[in-house]
Amino acid sequence: MTDNIENTSPSDAQEKIGVYVCHCGTNIAGVVDVVQVANWAAQSLKHRGVVIAREYKFMCSSPGQDLIEKDIKELGLNRVIVAACSPHLHEKTFRTACANAGLNPYLCEMVSIREQVSWVHTDKVAATEKAKAAISGGVERVRHHVPLQPIIVPINPATLIVGGGIAGIQSALEIADAGFHVYLVEREPSIGGHMAQFDKTFPTLDCSACILTPKMNSVGTHPNITLLTWSEVEKVDGYVGNFSVTVRKKARKVDEELCTGCGICQEKCPKKVIDNVFEAGLGYRKAIYTPSPQSVPNRPVIDVPNCTYYEKGTCKACDIFCAPKAIRFDQEDQILTLNVGNIILATGYELFDARRIPNYGYGRLPNVFTSLEIERLTNAAGPTNGNVVMRDGKTTPKTVGIIHCVGSRDKNYNNYCSVICCMQSLKFAHLVHERTGAQVYNFYIDIRAAFKDYDEFYQRVLDEGTMFVRGKVAEVTDVPRNENERGKLIIQVEDTLVGKQRRIPVDMVILSAGLEPRKDSKEVAKTFGISCSVNGWFIEKHPKLDPIATMTEGIFIAGCAQGPKDIPASVAQGAAAAARVLGRIEQKEMALEPVRASVIEEKCSGCRICNGLCPFNAITFHEDRMVTEINPALCQGCGTCVAACPAGAITGTGFSNDQIMAQIEGLLMMNIEPEAVTA
């Protein structure tokens, strides 16, 4: 570490600025001449108020922070510049150091010379000059900073969780067990999500229902959980700590208070309907139904479009045989308003529609199945009582081909890995072989078995005699080229390990479909004021350091709503989201960043251009005064409205025109003497 020249008598006595340049090991110092930059700042910026400039190996370390605190106390610094990594990483660290020394934390400015300089340049001379310019801009900007105070908001202890799959269930139980109320909203008639449809879970082959049903029942009977199934969120108002959520509770046409769940209505209903949801189109349900015998709540719902009474005005068999008289044909939707402090989104995923890849034959060739269909075939409570049979309902396959990555790792569809496909396919190989004794082929691109006991399960399936063919399947066809292929499905694939094309005849093909965001994910994101990635998954605050929170305070995400993941990861993320919420509830109030936009009412013309632009729904227009107002608790300081206002009536705290223009002048070195620029 080098201590640079201390300027005890700056030309501008108002500002006393300290500049601290971080080596970040070799992340910055490997490209930027940090010592030269610190010396330059001390000499060339002293007329702009810089009284000390230092460089240190790791400014974020305790000794690095101590340097800042010591200088603030001894030199009377009233502004601090830290040239280091992105503010996303350590802005809070250095603000805390300033606060510990008695300086308002918002008089600290970070300059990114790692992400914006050293990591994007290889020319050391050019990178060093760019670092100087960045620090110069930071110095000019911080001169216009003013002390700010955080916005304090109280936290309502109630929590809304949207989505009743395993991630949402875990979050709900964690918060409810801690003694706080939870509203769990699920759009289907029962909670459980996709996991309720599965037979076994990899790699331990636990019965899915055996491990899920106890949690479902706990949710259904928990005194701190209000369960709202067959319901959807329509509107979200408010801000962290004080959200007002409008929920539509769809009419079940059944009085849930009177219904005992005896099932006689389903038994007597004469109308059968193909179950395209829970049974994946392989089984039937009645026009009044619960998705499964383990449904929570165990209360049926009437399928109005398929009910004979609503079609013809006759029947009413369910009403006739219902002893407690719980059928309500005239029941209407209810609109509920929930007041909550935090929201967790655990809305899950949808399976890739295999019909989109016509060369695999799904929907055209009868014995091509999707992974969800196989889950129901292997399930003892499924339409075939766990028997793996072909579409005729009785023939047992002797050879089965399982195709991995259907709709995943494919530039024509989804470029990402769906995480679960490899292990899911290995599970199917084991279950099919166990139930039928069939020869099983797995067609894979790469085997990704990275987590606890996953590779051991892969070895187990290998030992069972499963054949593995490495290569992307080109086509599934029923057109034979010889007698051995007649009456079979033929899988055309390039075996990359032997370097040749192969045609493998099988009786059944299983498509291990990838995971996709729900089709309404963008609409849901807009409702809750968060963002989606280009693929449609909800975007987290930081992919590594904060994968639970979103850019909207008080909105958290968990499970596959954030991206593809398996059951253990979904459970872990659901618990993590609950922990974050509980931390805020226990604090009872929260300090929000004061970097917010505000309206100068005298300048506002009432044009409303800004009203529809705010991604956080923070802007309200007052018709009586014809003036726009910004809710500081909702505003995230993105600056969209500031840039859009034609009258210049909106200003951004921390990003005023004076601050931005001063920073630009500093970046252009307009504040430096000509000879100092070339020094």
pLDDT above 50: residue 155: yes
As a whole number of angstroms, the distance between CA 71 and CA 87 comes to: 21
Q: Is the torsion defined by CA of 48, 54, 57, 62 positive or negative?
A: negative
CB 196 within 8 A of CB 243: no
Of the chain, the percentage scoring pLDDT greater than 70 comes to 97
Residue 654: the pLDDT is: 85
List the domains of the chain with CATH numbers: 2-148+662-677 (3.40.50), 152-245+337-348+524-591 (3.50.50.60), 264-321 (no CATH), 350-516 (3.50.50.60), 597-652 (3.30.70.20)
pLDDT band at 674 (very low <50, low <70, confident <90, very high): low
Per DSSP, the residues of 263-274 read: -HHHHH---EEE
Chain centroid to Cα 355, Å, comes to: 27
From the list 580, 548, 542, 581, the residue with the least C-alpha distance to 562 is 548
pLDDT band at 10 (very low <50, low <70, confident <90, very high): very low
Q: Tell me what the pLDDT averaged over the chain comes to.
A: 93
CB 454 within 8 A of CB 203: yes
Give the least confident one: 29-43, 154-168, 224-238, 653-667. 653-667
SS3 content of the chain, % helix, strand, coil (to 5): 30, 25, 45
The strand pairing partners of 57, in sequence order, are none
Residue 528: the pLDDT is: 94
pLDDT above 70: residue 429: yes
Give tens-digit pLDDT for 585-641: 999 999 888 888 999 999 999 999 998 888 777 899 999 989 999 988 788 888 899
Residue 637: the pLDDT is: 86
Kind and range of the H or E run holding 38: helix 34-44
The strand pairing partners of 406, in sequence order, are 513
As a whole number of angstroms, the distance between CA 264 and CA 260 comes to: 10
Mean pLDDT of 88-103: 94
Mean pLDDT of 263-278: 96
From the list 89, 83, 27, the residue with the least C-alpha distance to 50 is 83
pLDDT above 60: residue 166: yes
Mean pLDDT of 366-376: 96
pLDDT band at 11 (very low <50, low <70, confident <90, very high): very low
As a whole number of angstroms, the distance between CA 633 and CA 596 comes to: 9
Tokens of 140: 């000019």
As a whole number of angstroms, the distance between CA 514 and CA 421 comes to: 7
pLDDT above 60: residue 518: yes
CB 69 within 8 A of CB 77: no
Residue 6: the pLDDT is: 42
Residue 544: the pLDDT is: 87
As a whole number of angstroms, the distance between CA 573 and CA 540 comes to: 12
As a whole number of angstroms, the distance between CA 546 and CA 174 comes to: 19
pTM above 0.75, yes or no: yes
As a whole number of angstroms, the distance between CA 538 and CA 522 comes to: 8
Q: What is the residue whose two structure tokens read 């007329």?
A: 47
Residue 675: the pLDDT is: 53
Residue 495: the pLDDT is: 94
Question: Cα-flanking dihedrals φ and ψ of residue 73, to 5°?
Answer: -75, -45
For residues 583 and 5, the model is more confident at 583
Count of beta carbons in the 10 Å neighbourhood of residue 606: 14
Give tens-digit pLDDT for 290-306: 999 999 999 999 999 99
pLDDT above 70: residue 581: yes
Kind and range of the H or E run holding 82: strand 79-84
Of the chain, the percentage scoring pLDDT greater than 90 comes to 88
As a whole number of angstroms, the distance between CA 404 and CA 410 comes to: 11
pLDDT above 70: residue 438: yes
Cα distances (angstroms) measured from residue 126 to each of 32, 219, 239, 668:
9, 60, 45, 14
Q: Which residues does 409 contact at the CB level (< 8 Å), separation at least 6? A: 415, 416, 417, 445, 514
Q: Collapsing DSSP states into helix, strand and coil, what is residue 103?
A: coil
The strand pairing partners of 201, in sequence order, are 206
pLDDT above 90: residue 12: no
Residue 655: the pLDDT is: 87
Give tens-digit pLDDT for 42-87: 999 999 999 999 999 999 999 999 999 999 999 999 999 999 999 9
pLDDT above 80: residue 276: yes
Residue 635: the pLDDT is: 85
pLDDT above 50: residue 2: no
Q: Is the torsion defined by CA of 409, 413, 415, 419 positive or negative?
A: negative
pLDDT above 60: residue 127: yes
Residue 238: the pLDDT is: 87
As a whole number of angstroms, the distance between CA 24 and CA 342 comes to: 36
